[in-house]
């Protein structure tokens, strides 16, 4: 039996299929302007990739900020629960998830059975999210995906203390004017973002092993900054971006089996 999960995030839309309790395939596309079409697009792209007939999909769960716009889903669940299910499904040892996405960052604590025990999210302001990194990348005229690699070359990270994106951007601009090294500024940005995210982690008292999910998990500089800050190893699985969609597919199978 095949089940599908669809995760509509602010930047990318993800889909995942599971078959007989095994991950089958995943797909990531940009969300674009319209979350409704993004859901349809990513779903049909994955159908095409796997050659599966939509009639063979027994249940679909949608998640992410656009979860309610996926009209063909049987149910919508928040990404918090889905990330929990996804991480547990892929690696049952996981007890903590750090998810840094475009709009939100979250820390999610799981119990031994993969149930969410507690979670914390950033407040309305953008500091500590992918969006913050995007603003900073723009100010530095660096590609978002290059931030990680560049920062690894830093010997002395700059210090950015402002909690507010606007204040921090102003700090960064004066650092550029002060001719500080680009890699140091970027490493500083990672450290300040890591401090914000670490706050969420301590808030819910995450226990090891901790996995990082979301688009920002691909940024090696961020992982390093977080590990330094927390003094703990952070795992990155094979599917950091698709983790929520995988969890949604898992939930779809549970719903189908009347376990929820």
Partner 1 sequence: MKEINPFHAAINDPGGLAAGIKKRSGKILGYMCSYAPEELIHAAGFHPMRLFSSKSDICLAQNHLQAYCCSLVRGVLEDSLAGRLDYLEGMVFPHTCDSIQRLSDIWRLNTKFNFFADVVMPTKLNTKSARTYMTDVLKKFKTDLEKAAEHSITQNDLQNSISLFNRIRRDLSRIYELKSQFPSIIKGTDLFAIIKGSMIMDREELAQRLETIVLLLEKKDPPPYSGKRIILAGSICDMQDIYKLIEASGGSVVADDLCTGNRWFEGSMPENIDPIEALTARYADRAICPAKHSGNTTRGENLLALADTHKVDGVIFATLKFCDPHAFDYPYMKEFLEKSSIKNLHLELDDQQQGLGQLSTRLETFIHMI
Partner 2 sequence: MTDTDKKKDKRKIRAAKKMREIMTTYYLDAMTARENNKKVAWITSGGPVEPLIAMDIIPVYPENHGAMIGASKMGEELCIKAEEMGYSQDLCSYARTDIACCKVNGGPMGGLPQPDMLICCNNICGTVLKWYEVQARHFNVPLFILDTPICHTDYSREVESYVRRQMDEYIIFLETAVDKKFDHDKMAEVGRLAFQGQKLWQKVLKTTTHKPSPMSAFDAFFFLALIVTLRGTQIAVDFYEELSLEMEERIQTDISIIPHEKYRLLWDNLPVWYQLKWLSQKFSDHNACLVADTYTSAWCSALKYIDENNFLDSMAQAYTRIHLNIGVDQMADQVLDMIRTYDVDGFVMHSNRSCKPYSFGQMDIMNIVRKKTGIPVVMLEADMVDPRSFSLSQTDTRIDAFMEIIKQKEWVR
List interacting residues with partner 1 (CB under 8 A): 123, 125, 127, 159-164, 167, 170-171, 173-174, 191-192, 195-196, 198-200, 202-203, 229
- Report how far residue 189's alpha carbon sits from residue 162's, in angstroms, rounded to the nearest whole number: 10
At its nearest, how many Å lie between partner 1 and the CB of residue 35? 28
Binding partner of residue 198 among partner 1, partner 2, none, CB under 5 to 8 Å per kind?
partner 1
Q: Is the four-CA dihedral 24, 33, 11, 245 of positive or negative sign?
A: negative
- 6: its two tokens: 């669809």
- Report how far residue 178's alpha carbon sits from residue 147's, in angstroms, rounded to the nearest whole number: 20
- Report how far residue 26's alpha carbon sits from residue 16's, in angstroms, rounded to the nearest whole number: 4
- 118: its two tokens: 């507690």
- Report how far residue 217's alpha carbon sits from residue 240's, in angstroms, rounded to the nearest whole number: 6
Q: Are 99 and 234 in contact (CB under 8 A)?
A: no
Binding mask 86-115 for partner 2 (x = CB under 8 A): -----------------xx--------xxx
Binding mask 119-138 for partner 2 (x = CB under 8 A): x-x-xx--------------
At its nearest, how many Å lie between partner 1 and the CB of residue 214? 19
Complex with partner 1: residue 31 or 192, whichever CB lies closer: 192
Residues in the interface with partner 2 (CB under 8 A) total: 22
Complex with partner 2: residue 36 or 260, whichever CB lies closer: 260
Residues, the chain: 260
Q: Is 133 helix (H, G, I), strand (E, B) or coil?
A: helix
At its nearest, how many Å lie between partner 2 and the CB of residue 67? 8
Instruction: Write out the residues near partner 2 by the rule CB under 8 A.
Output: 65, 76-81, 103-104, 113-116, 118-119, 121, 123-124, 203, 254, 259-260
């Amino acid at each position: 039996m095949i089940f599908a999960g669809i995760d509509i995030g602010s930047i990318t839309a993800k889909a995942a299929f599971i078959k007989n309790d095994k991950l089958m395939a995943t797909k990531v596309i940009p969300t674009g302007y319209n979350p409704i079409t993004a859901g349809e697009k990513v779903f049909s792209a994955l159908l095409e990739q796997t050659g599966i007939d939509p009639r063979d999909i027994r249940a679909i769960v949608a998640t992410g900020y656009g979860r309610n716009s996926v009209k063909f889903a049987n149910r919508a669940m928040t990404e918090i629960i889905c990330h929990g299910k996804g991480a547990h499904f892929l690696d049952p040892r996981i007890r903590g998830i750090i998810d840094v996405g475009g709009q939100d960052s979250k820390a999610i604590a799981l119990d031994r059975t993969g149930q969410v025990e507690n979670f914390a999210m950033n407040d309305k302001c953008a500091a500590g999210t992918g969006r913050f990194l995007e603003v900073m990348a723009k100010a530095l005229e660096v590609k978002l995906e290059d931030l990680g690699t560049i920062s690894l070359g830093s010997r002395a990270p700059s210090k950015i203390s402002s909690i507010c994106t606007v204040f921090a951007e102003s700090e960064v601009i004066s650092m550029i004017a002060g001719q500080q090294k680009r890699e140091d500024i970027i490493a500083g940005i990672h450290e300040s973002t890591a401090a914000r995210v670490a706050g969420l982690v301590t808030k819910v008292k995450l226990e090891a092993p901790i996995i990082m999910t979301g688009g920002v998990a691909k940024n090696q500089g961020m992982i390093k900054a977080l590990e330094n800050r927390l003094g703990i190893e952070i795992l990155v699985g094979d599917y950091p971006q698709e983790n929520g969609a995988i969890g949604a597919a898992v939930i779809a199978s549970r719903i189908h089996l009347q376990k929820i």
